[in-house]
Copies of this chain bind each other. A is one copy, B any other.
Amino acid sequence: MVGGGPGAFIGEVHRKAARLDGEYELVCGSFSSDPKKSAQTGDELGLDEGRVYATWEEMLSKEKALPADKRMQVLSIVTPNHLHFAPSKAALEAGFHVICDKPLAFDLKEGRELEAVVKKSGKVFALTHNYTGYPMIKQARHLVAGGSLGKVMKVLVEYPQGWLLKEIEKDGQKQASWRTDPKKAGASCCMGDIGTHCENLAGYVTGLELESISADLSSFRSGRKLDDDGSVLIRYKGGAKGVLHASQISFGEENGLNIRVYCEKGRIAWKQELPTLLLVQKEGEPPMTMTPGNDYLCEAAKRAGRIPPGHPEAFLEAFANIYVNAAKTIRKIDAGQKPDEYDLDFPTVLDGVKGLAFIDAVVKNGFDDATKWTKV
């Protein structure tokens, strides 16, 4: 693991997700740019001292030097955005599989380069767009793909949060500091951090490709160099329309990712904060509420659950589903076998490149103050 030292949020999420199903064992790490902090985290996690490294470069070279049955098999990258590309590239080229937090890289250029590196390496690259790990999202995707709901006409996808309403980056809050810093986060704060989850989720569920967008980004806090709120009108290839909005300044919202898809002959709706409920409506019928663990679900949704109906699984389990599927794929690849469609059901470098293209377009379009507006 690279990153995930003291004060980190997503690093421990990755560790719990990896642990839950017993498919991974954490064997080494470079948890912080500060070697003392890295050592402290390694100690707390009960790691062998000799495998807690001062830098990720050191980790890659020393681990590579270990015998094959001893060395690290997969590298988890849980650092801020500007530190995704370099360790990903180096690890892949050194022959390790990679599981990387999103967004894929600092910008679209890096992303495209990494796409080529992954292809060349033959290694597994999993991107933790974790919300696609929820069982009911897999069921939603299945329903849309199956065609019984008809062609998609309209997509509404939202991700409101309120945690950056106050300028907590000024108080040194670690999560806020790097996300609002263009040198670490890239060209966008809100759209890069959570807008891409919207884009990815809508793409996963509907299978639609973006054609063009028209956006309005805002920095509600004067000191901020990056957006903390944004709304995007979407035209999809094939004629569907969409509205996507994400916000980090929406008072009281916790982690309100949600999606509604309207088709010719049906609809689905889902909210991340109540992830076990999938509203589905089909022609001539009242809306239904599907829940995990039931016989009527598709195979992918069934596999994404662990316990019987009514015993809710949630964020960590969905996150773990990315890890589990990556593990199954890695194991088969390493054994020279062919992973099946269920093993391969996790986000890849291609999803990452799409996300960076989305950020790129939205940032270009979203601060336009003139040509697209009509006075009322």
The answer to whether A251 and B276 touch across the interface, beta carbons within 8 angstroms, is: no
* Number of chain A residues close to chain B: CB under 8 A: 95
The answer to whether B250 and A267 touch across the interface, beta carbons within 8 angstroms, is: yes
> Assuming A160-B262, A251-B265, what are 8 further A-B pairs, CB within 8 angstroms?
A22-B46, A212-B373, A216-B233, A216-B241, A229-B241, A252-B262, A307-B316, A371-B371
- Interface residues in A289-336 by Cβ distance below 8 A to B read 289-291, 293-296, 306-317
Distance (Å) between the CB of A289 and the closest chain B CB? 5
Q: Mark A36-74, 1 if CB is under 8 A from B, else 0.
A: 000000000110000000000000000000000000000
> A154: which B residues are within 8 A, CB to CB?
229, 247, 249-250
Distance (Å) between the CB of A259 and the closest chain B CB? 13
The 10 closest A-B pairs by CB, nearest first: A254-B310, A255-B310, A372-B372, A312-B314, A365-B374, A314-B314, A254-B309, A252-B281, A210-B376, A286-B288
The answer to whether A291 and B212 touch across the interface, beta carbons within 8 angstroms, is: no
Q: Mark A193-220, 1 if CB is under 8 A from B, else 0.
A: 0000000000000000011111110101
Residue from A276, A293, A296 with most neighbouring chain B CB atoms (10 Å): A276
* Closest chain B residue, CB of each to CB of A17: B20
The answer to whether B251 and A310 touch across the interface, beta carbons within 8 angstroms, is: no
Name the one of B218, B276, B311, B314 contacting A241, with C-beta atoms under 8 angstroms: B218
Name the one of B250, B272, B286, B296 contacting A291, with C-beta atoms under 8 angstroms: B286
Cα of A15 to Cα of B21 in the assembled complex, Å: 9
Given contacts A286-B290, A371-B371, contact A255 B214 (CB under 8 A): no
- Interface residues in A1-30 by Cβ distance below 8 A to B read 9, 12-13, 15-16, 19-22
Which of A98-106, A120-128, A341-349, A356-364 contacts its partner?
Answer: A356-364
- Interface residues in A231-259 by Cβ distance below 8 A to B read 231, 233, 235, 241, 243, 245, 247, 249-256
